[in-house]
Amino acid sequence: MAKKKFSKNWVHQHINDPFVKMAQQKGYRARAAYKLTEILDTEKLLRKGDVVVDLGATPGSWSQVVRERLLGAGGRVDGRIIALDLLPMEPIAGVEFIQGDFREESVLGQLEEMLGGSKVDLVISDMAPNLSGVGAADSARIQHVCELALEFSMNHLKPDGTLIVKAFHGSGFSQIVQMFKQHFVRVVERKPKASRDKSSETFLVGQRLKSTGIRVFP
């Protein structure tokens, strides 16, 4: 009974959510588009010609936002957008998509072949693990996802590049922030207006790689 009530409350909240309504009007695939929009505006990120990798991209709202901002003359993307996800994604014009696990050599090889030796200006990750409700286990999963995005960025970002990842406040959050600070000159936390008040999600923005050679990965 409680579950049914919870579901009804969620549906009611979702239907009346202003960001859901705006996303539907604008043609975004998810309200999460407005989280990235606010971060890009606040941090003054993304310029024409940039190369962007969207990790955990499905359903594609973050790639939609990036595409919008990179559109040049004639409605063509001025730059590159490569999206990756384990799940399939409906095509987006001008966005190259790889379905697979970027931890696997074959998928990384595919991405590197697409990049053709080019480094990346911006890595964005709205990835979140499946949560079990067990605090310690969930914290470890969240940290692991952030580590994967960070390790990927260490290998593929330009020196002045930026990484945006989704993290969650709670056990292990300070360790994630510390990892970022080891590798980036500037690290900030962002809680966009489109993030629900009850949600503990916080986005970390790391800018400009440090050239210290410090590694947190084996």
Integer Cα distance of 178 and 36 in angstroms: 23
Closest to 147 measured CA to CA, from 118, 182, 120:
182
Residues tagged in the binding site annotation for S-adenosyl-L-methionine: 60, 62, 85, 101, 126
Catalytic residue check, 158: no
Contact predicate 209/150, CB 8 Å: no
Active-site annotation holder among 3, 48, 119, 166: 166
Q: Phi first, then psi: give them for residue 18, nearest 5 degrees.
A: -60, -30
Binding site, annotated residues: 60, 62, 85, 101, 126
> In 101-128, which positions are buried (b, 16+ CB within 10 angstroms) versus exposed (e)?
ebeeeebbebbeeeeeeeebbbbbbbbe
Helix (H) or strand (E) holding 205: strand 201-209
Q: Tell me the two tokens of residue 186.
A: 């500037």
* Residues that are catalytic: 166
